């Protein structure tokens, strides 16, 4: 037996030390760049949010004091009508004007509601929701109608008729209304998220009690009935006075 064949005692074995771990260089340039981007994005979002808040706040400064709209114009003579403070708060509006106008030539009376306030608070207060809650049923409409604004293009309003009661006690209410936001009149509204970025909006709402015979003789949507419809005649004379006080296009 050769000496080389003898087993080597463990204590005599040389164990190679482990290779040193490879240390990767930290790409500090990239880290700094990413941090700068994140900080910059956060600052941009904060600036945009602050700008939106400022714009919304400015938008709540109405160029019109609704109470300053005349009580008398053309053949119409108006008077302020009381409104329950609870109902007024429920509209979400900052300005609420309720009036009854009487045509001095015909004796016809029209009720007008003029509102201005935060769009996100007001947009849900539409006749299609409020009248059914008050026990009214839709009898006719809706129909879109055009209302004169003066020098600008006609405004779009919505006309409906609601009814409540039975027989000789049936109450027919003709309603014509529209909103003004984003520089134009429209009876259409979107969802809450849409109005969170819109500051103030106006609402013009007129209503009149009519008879069943009036509704039958002058159905909604019939061409050429504007001259015979007191609400339409009233709006054609009121809206130019309203629009003349507004900045920008009146359509």
Question: Do 97 and 174 fall into the same domain?
Answer: yes
Question: Do 182 and 110 fall into the same domain?
Answer: yes
Number of domains in the chain: 2
- Quick one: pLDDT at residue 53? 44
- Quick one: pLDDT at residue 239? 94
Question: Do 30 and 91 fall into the same domain?
Answer: no
SS (H, E, C) 55-78: HHHHHCCCCCCHHHCCCEECCEEE
Question: Do 126 and 224 fall into the same domain?
Answer: yes
Question: Do 44 and 72 fall into the same domain?
Answer: no
Q: Choose one of 11, 35, 59: the last residue of a domain.
A: 59
- The domain in which residue 42 lies consists of 25-59
- Quick one: pLDDT at residue 58? 47
- Whether 86 is covered by a domain: the verdict is yes
Question: Do 141 and 154 fall into the same domain?
Answer: yes
- Quick one: pLDDT at residue 92? 76
- Whether 192 is covered by a domain: the verdict is yes
Question: Do 29 and 105 fall into the same domain?
Answer: no
- Quick one: pLDDT at residue 165? 83
- Whether 16 is covered by a domain: the verdict is no
- Torsion of the alpha carbons at 65, 68, 69 and 75, rounded to the nearest 10: 170
Q: Chain centroid to CA 160: how far?
A: 20
pLDDT tens-place values along the chain, 251 residues long: 444 454 545 454 455 555 555 555 556 666 666 665 665 655 445 434 444 444 444 445 677 889 999 999 999 999 999 876 666 667 778 899 999 999 999 999 999 999 998 887 787 788 988 889 888 999 988 999 999 998 788 999 999 999 998 777 788 999 999 999 888 899 987 655 556 666 788 999 999 999 888 887 776 666 555 667 899 999 999 999 998 887 665 55
Question: Do 115 and 215 fall into the same domain?
Answer: yes
pTM, 2 dp: 0.71
Phi, psi at residue 229, to the nearest 5°?
A: -105, 110
């Amino acid at each position: 037996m050769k000496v080389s064949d003898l087993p080597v005692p463990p204590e005599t074995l040389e164990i190679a030390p482990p290779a040193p771990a490879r240390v990767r260089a930290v790409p500090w340039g990239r880290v700094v760049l990413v941090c700068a981007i994140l900080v910059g994005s956060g600052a941009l979002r904060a600036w945009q949010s602050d700008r939106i808040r400022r714009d919304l706040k400015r938008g709540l400064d109405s160029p019109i004091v609704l109470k300053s709209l005349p009580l008398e114009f053309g053949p119409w003579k108006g008077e302020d009508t009381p409104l329950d403070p609870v109902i007024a708060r429920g509209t979400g509006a900052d300005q609420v004007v309720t009036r009854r106008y009487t045509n001095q030539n015909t004796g016809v009376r029209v009720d007008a509601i003029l509102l201005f306030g935060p769009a996100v608070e007001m947009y849900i207060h539409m006749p299609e929701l409020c009248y059914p809650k008050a026990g009214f049923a839709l009898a006719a409409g809706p129909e879109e109608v055009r209302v004169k604004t003066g020098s600008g293009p006609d405004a779009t309003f919505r006309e409906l008729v609601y009814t409540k009661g039975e027989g000789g006690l049936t109450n027919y209410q003709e309603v014509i209304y529209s909103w003004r936001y984003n520089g134009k009149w429209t009876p259409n509204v979107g969802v809450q998220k849409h109005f969170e970025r819109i500051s103030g909006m106006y609402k013009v709402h007129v209503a009149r009690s009519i008879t069943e015979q009036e509704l039958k003789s002058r159905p909604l949507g019939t061409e050429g009935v504007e001259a015979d419809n007191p609400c339409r005649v009233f709006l054609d004379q009121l809206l130019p006075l309203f629009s003349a006080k507004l900045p920008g296009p009146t359509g």
